[in-house]
């Protein structure tokens, strides 16, 4: 029997852990938080509201506060991400963003959910490496959770354009969500939600793409990769190489050499 929970990010709103389990179980229990899970691999069997349900890879589990649930993990093993969202902090968030009543426990459809966008948001939060990335991922996760609320419309397009203009003027540095939301004159939550709907990317990811577009332009013009990394505000050369490689599938040096040979 093995059950290992590795703590991940912890803040005022959410605690997260990466769980690996095999031939183990959680007896029926409850939590005073809203609990979200993303099944990465393996099959979990849960008990909820008198029903037994299978949780396949790629599925999300959601338990409302005080729901009684239990879990069983087979010998083949299961790996999943678990998030516990504090109810009082969630209520404050709802009030700050005018998402509904702030009294009582917020409730959602619970059980085993096939919601790929919410699944990706949970994984994105768990794997975020910096505080800025964590905040952006958490806001995107909450946007998916509150997906039934009114979303971006045409009236917000100018606000998104203002934020993109701000991004283009700050290609030489990393920008914060606060700066971008202020440029759009929106709350951070609504800004992240509307920006993703309008562009298909989160704002920080979009800004990174703009920086990499500028990096390619400079490399094609003959600038040395080290100079490009420094001019565009990357932490160091390895950070630039990794970011560039994820998009281009090659290193800045090899990309630059292609144009020198040409």
| CATH number of the CATH domain containing 172 | 1.10.10.60
139 in any annotated domain: no
What pLDDT is stored for residue 108 in this prediction?
85
User: Do 31 and 63 contact (CB within 8 A), yes or no?
Assistant: yes
Same domain, 62 and 181: no
Same domain, 130 and 154: no
Between 247 and 115, name the one with better pLDDT: 115
* Whether residue 101 has pLDDT greater than 70: no
Give the end of a domain, one of 109, 134, 159: 134
Same domain, 123 and 161: no
Percent of the chain with pLDDT over 70: 92
For residues 91-96, average pLDDT:
84
State the sign of the Cα–Cα–Cα–Cα dihedral 248, 251, 252, 256.
Answer: negative
Same domain, 127 and 224: no
259 in any annotated domain: yes
Same domain, 12 and 124: yes
217 in any annotated domain: yes
Same domain, 119 and 208: no
Element (H, E) at 154: none
Where in the sequence is the domain holding 220, given as residue range(s)?
150-262
Minimum mean pLDDT range among 15-29, 173-187, 203-217: 15-29
Same domain, 172 and 63: no
Same domain, 72 and 168: no
Closest to 177 in 3D by CA, of 128, 239, 215, 120: 128
* Whether residue 241 has pLDDT greater than 80: yes
Same domain, 79 and 185: no
CATH of the domain at 114: 2.60.120.10
What pLDDT is stored for residue 149 in this prediction?
44
For residues 170-184, average pLDDT:
93
Closest to 44 in 3D by CA, of 10, 6, 8, 82: 82
Beta strands in 132-235 (DSSP E): none
Give the end of a domain, one of 134, 165, 190: 134
Confidence of residue 105 (pLDDT cuts 50, 70, 90): low
Same domain, 100 and 158: no
Average pLDDT over the chain, rounded to whole? 86
Same domain, 109 and 58: yes
242 in any annotated domain: yes
Same domain, 125 and 15: yes
User: Do 245 and 251 contact (CB within 8 A), yes or no?
Assistant: yes
86 in any annotated domain: yes
Beta strands in the chain (DSSP E): 2-10, 14-22, 24-29, 34-41, 44-48, 51-55, 60-63, 69-73, 78-85, 111-113
145 in any annotated domain: no
Structural domain count, the chain: 2
Closest to 207 in 3D by CA, of 234, 182, 236, 170: 170
What pLDDT is stored for residue 152 in this prediction?
44
Rounded Cα distance between 169 and 184, Å, is 14
Minimum mean pLDDT range among 128-132, 173-177, 212-216: 128-132
The answer, as to whether pTM is greater than 0.75, is no
* Whether residue 156 has pLDDT greater than 70: no
Residue 104 CB partners (closer than 8 Å, separation 6+) = none
* Whether residue 175 has pLDDT greater than 60: yes
28 in any annotated domain: yes
Give the end of a domain, one of 134, 158, 180: 134
Q: What are phi and psi of 84, to 5 degrees?
A: -115, 115
Instruction: Give, to the nearest 10 degrees, the angle between helix 177-184 and helix 157-168.
Output: 130
160 in any annotated domain: yes
């Amino acid at each position: 029997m093995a059950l290992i929970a590795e703590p991940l990010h912890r803040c005022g709103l959410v605690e997260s852990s990466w769980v690996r389990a095999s031939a183990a179980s959680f007896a029926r229990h409850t939590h005073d938080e809203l609990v979200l899970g993303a099944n990465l691999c393996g099959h979990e069997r849960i008990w909820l509201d008198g029903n037994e349900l299978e949780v396949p890879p790629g599925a999300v589990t959601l338990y409302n506060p005080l729901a009684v649930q239990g879990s069983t993990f087979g010998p083949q093993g299961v790996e999943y991400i678990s998030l516990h969202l504090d109810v009082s902090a969630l209520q404050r968030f709802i009030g700050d963003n005018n998402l509904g009543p702030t009294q009582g426990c917020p409730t959602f459809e619970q059980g085993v959910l096939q919601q790929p966008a919410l699944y990706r948001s949970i994984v994105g939060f768990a794997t975020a490496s910096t505080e800025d990335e964590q905040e952006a991922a958490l806001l995107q996760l909450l946007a998916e959770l509150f997906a039934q609320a009114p979303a971006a419309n045409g009236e917000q397009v100018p606000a998104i354009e203002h934020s993109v203009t701000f991004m283009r003027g700050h290609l030489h540095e990393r920008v914060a969500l606060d700066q971008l939301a202020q440029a759009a004159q929106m709350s951070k939550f609504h800004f992240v939600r509307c920006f993703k709907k309008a562009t298909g990317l989160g704002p920080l990811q979009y800004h990174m793409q703009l920086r990499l577009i500028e990096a390619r332009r400079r490399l094609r013009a003959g600038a040395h990769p080290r100079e490009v990394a420094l001019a565009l505000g990357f932490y160091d050369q390895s950070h630039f190489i990794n970011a560039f490689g994820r998009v281009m599938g090659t290193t800045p040096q090899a990309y630059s050499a292609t144009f020198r040979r040409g």
